[in-house]
Amino acid sequence: MDILLVSAGIFHPPVLGRYYLKRYLHSLGGFSYHVVGSLESLPKLDRGSFQSMVLYYHQAKISWPALKALEEYIYSGGGALAIHSATASFKDSSGYYDVLGGRFTGHGPVRTIEIKPAASQEAIFAGIPAFNVTDELYLHELRGEIQVQFYADYHGEHAPMVWTHTYGQGRVCYACPGHHSSSLRNPIYLQILGRALAWTCHANREALKHI
């Protein structure tokens, strides 16, 4: 499966986090990657070229042609795995948040977060236990209907940490940890990212037993 990896950053997201993510992705069998630093640098974007995208960046502006290309790709059946500050990017583009399913609104201090599996999950995430990361707990304004896959307790409520979302025929998954590079070395979190990528490609758990 061919994947478009859109990632850039030195401090946010951290360059080491981006390195560990790339190293993990390249360790997965069955995937190949094309890397660009911005949605403005997209190659031809359709499901014949790429089965999914990985979005790990923190950027301020997106042009209308780039946003339209992203929207049309996902709506027609493409996929996207968005990580951490992807939801804090392009704050003036409401259509972007319709695609991802949520908009960043704030976060508390970096701390240890226990991330727990939701009671109702996509089958591809089944069997992944609760785990801890030291990271930012992002808060979001949710757009459309999302399905929470993992959550953290925050002031007596459940804050979504990993969610899935459909946009037209496409599949989108968002995963919150990624402020600290250590999160991208956590084997349980990496397993979630691997399975999430497979889900956005419309693959099932049985097809990718190695993840």
Look up residue 100 and give its two tokens: 């991802």
Which residue matches tokens 């953290």?
A: 152
The percentage of residues in the chain with a pLDDT greater than 90, rounded to a whole number, is: 84
The answer, as to whether pTM is greater than 0.85, is yes
Alpha carbons 40 and 66: distance in angstroms, whole number: 6
> Using CB atoms within 10 A of its CB, is residue 121 exposed (0-12), middle (13-18) or buried (19+)?
middle
**Calpha distance 94→141 (Å, rounded):** 11
In angstroms, how far apart are the furthest CA atoms of the chain?
A: 45
Mean pLDDT score of the chain: 94
Q: Which domains does the chain have, with CATH numbers?
A: 2-208 (3.40.50.880)
Alpha helices, DSSP H, located in 14-124 = 15-27, 64-75, 94-100
Residues 39-71: tens digit of each pLDDT: 999 888 877 889 999 999 999 999 999 999 999
| CB-based contact 162:176 (threshold 8 Å) | yes
Tokens of 47: 């499901």
On the CB side of 142, how many CA atoms lie within 13 Å of its CA? 13
pLDDT of residue 203: 81
Q: What is the pLDDT of residue 72?
A: 95
Q: Is the pLDDT of residue 144 over 80?
A: no
**Is residue 204 scored above 70 in pLDDT?**
no
